[in-house]
Amino acid sequence: MGTDADGAGALDASIARRLLVTMWRIRAFEERLEPLKRSSMVHGLTHLSIGQEGVAAGVCTQLADDETVYSNHRADGHALAKGVDMGRLLAELMGRSGGCCRGLGGSMHVVDVSHGFLGATGVVGGNLPFAVGSAFAGRLLGRGGVVVVFFGDGAAQAGIFAETLNLASLWEVPVVFVCENNGFAEFTPRSAHTRVERVSDLAAPFHVAAATLDGNDVAEVYRVFQGVLGEARAGRGPFLLECLTERLSGHYVGDPGGYRAALEDEAWRARDPIQRLVRQAAARGWFDEEASHAAEAAAREEVEAAVAFASASPFPDPALPAELTYAG
Ligand SMILES: Cc1ncc(C[n+]2csc(CCOP(=O)(O)OP(=O)(O)O)c2C)c(N)n1
Ligand SMILES: [Mg+2]
């Protein structure tokens, strides 16, 4: 992991504030999601990304609505950072008709086409070929467009990862593969899966440009992704960015976490992406801790408004799934 000084030179005060606000919105949302899940207000599995907010913020805040993101099972942060409305996201997780998929998708099938969020995915690695297909289709249809796909270190162990990198390289599609390497696939450390420590090392055989960076340094994520995004917008690619990070909660809400000593490790506080950005910003005179508290308070207020919106939204009409079913 790098030092506080990393990457911040790529930011200015307003970008840094935007990143701060985005990370607080994700954290406040997920901290509220946990009790909602435990009280059965939220349905299906809940995978929190607390600790990993720097990756979602550093990447998604740079994308336009017509630039596409494919996410995985740990999707809330990607969705919020890509512009999905917080109330509609929560309503979706609560199975309410005001949700972005009318409450029929739930946490691993959140989609919001209007913000280029083409969705969460429950099949580990299943989103990787979607991204390449989407970028290839964009080229065939003459509309181009950058596609970003988030995946974990566990997904890199699936055979489809190699197949996807191969085709992405062969077709030279403007896809950015963003790996959130948190060192675990469910309850299994990476060292139990492979001798290849760095996911970025898997890109070279396919001639895909790759880099490993500190995913807990949002400024570094922003800086490196900015360069890659410029290339992809010019039609070049693919690229693989491996962001080293840490999930600070269990694999899912309810995971007892006994397999993982790091959960008790207080050292993460020094690497917390939010606090790191605050220190970098304070050193440059952009904002201080008080401004961070204000951003946190605003985020928590927004979350309560989302809870009120989602709770007031009715469950979908039971006839809706039949109406939406296509039978040829
Ligand atoms: C094809 C497939 N195999 C297995 C699973 C079960 N599963 C759910 S999450 C997960 C681990 C994923 O690890 P990683 O890609 O590193 O993401 P992380 O959970 O660490 O964010 C597994 C194996 C699944 N959902 N899909
Ligand atoms: Mg992982």
Q: How far is the CA of 182 from the centre of ligand 2 (A)?
A: 5
Does the beta carbon of 184 lie inside 6 Å of ligand 1? yes
In the numeric block, which tokens belong to residue 173?
A: 């599609």
Q: How far is the CA of 21 from the centre of ligand 1 (A)?
A: 29
- Give 1's pLDDT tier (boundaries 50, 70, 90): very low
Mean pLDDT, residues 82-111? 97
Mean pLDDT, residues 195-224? 97
Mean pLDDT, residues 233-255? 94
Among 186, 193, 251, which is best to mutate for testing ligand 1, by the most ligand atoms less than 8 A from CB?
Answer: 186
Phi then psi for 241, rounded to 5 degrees? -115, 120
pLDDT at res. 68: 97
Residue 147 has pLDDT above 50, yes or no: yes
Among 73, 160, 242, which is best to mutate for testing ligand 1, by the most ligand atoms less than 8 A from CB?
Answer: 73
Atom of ligand 1 nearest to the CA of 47: 19
Find all residues with CB under 8 Å of 237, minimum gap 6, and list them: 135, 146, 168, 172, 173, 174, 175, 176, 231
**Per-residue pLDDT tens digits for 123-141:** 999 999 999 999 999 999 9
Q: How far from 274 is each of 127, 221, 278, 283, 288, CA to CA, in Å? A: 28, 13, 6, 14, 12
Residue 323 has pLDDT above 60, yes or no: yes
Q: How far from 1 is each of 4, 213, 243, 251, 252, CA to CA, in Å? A: 10, 8, 10, 22, 25
Phi then psi for 214, rounded to 5 degrees? -80, 105
Residue 322 has pLDDT above 90, yes or no: no
pLDDT greater at residue 249 or residue 293 = 293
Q: Between vectors from CA 73 to CA 72 and to CA 76, what angle results, nearest 5°?
A: 90
Map tokens 């304070």 to a residue.
Answer: 282
Residue 325 has pLDDT above 80, yes or no: yes
Residue 264 has pLDDT above 90, yes or no: no
Mean pLDDT, residues 62-74? 97
Does the beta carbon of 122 lie inside 6 Å of ligand 1? yes
In three-state secondary structure terms, 151 is strand
Domain boundaries along the sequence of the chain: 1-32+251-311, 63-79+94-108+121-198
pLDDT greater at residue 266 or residue 319 = 319
Q: How far is the CA of 152 from the centre of ligand 2 (A)?
A: 5
**Per-residue pLDDT tens digits for 148-185:** 999 999 999 999 999 999 999 999 999 999 999 999 99
Q: Between vectors from CA 312 to CA 104 and to CA 317, what angle results, nearest 5°?
A: 40
Q: What is the pTM of this model?
A: 0.96
φ/ψ region of 255 (left if φ > 0, alpha if ψ in -120 to 50, else beta) reads beta
- Give 29's pLDDT tier (boundaries 50, 70, 90): very high
Residue 22 has pLDDT above 60, yes or no: yes
Pairwise CA distance, residues 131 & 38, whole Å: 33
In three-state secondary structure terms, 27 is helix
| Candidate CATH numbers 3.40.50.1980, 2.40.40.20, 3.40.50.970, 2.60.40.10; the one for domain 63-79+94-108+121-198 | 3.40.50.970
Q: How many CB atoms lie within 10 A of CB 201?
A: 12
**Helix locations, the chain, DSSP H:** 13-38, 53-60, 76-81, 86-93, 127-140, 159-171, 218-233, 268-271, 273-283, 289-312, 320-324
Pairwise CA distance, residues 243 & 241, whole Å: 6
φ/ψ region of 133 (left if φ > 0, alpha if ψ in -120 to 50, else beta) reads alpha
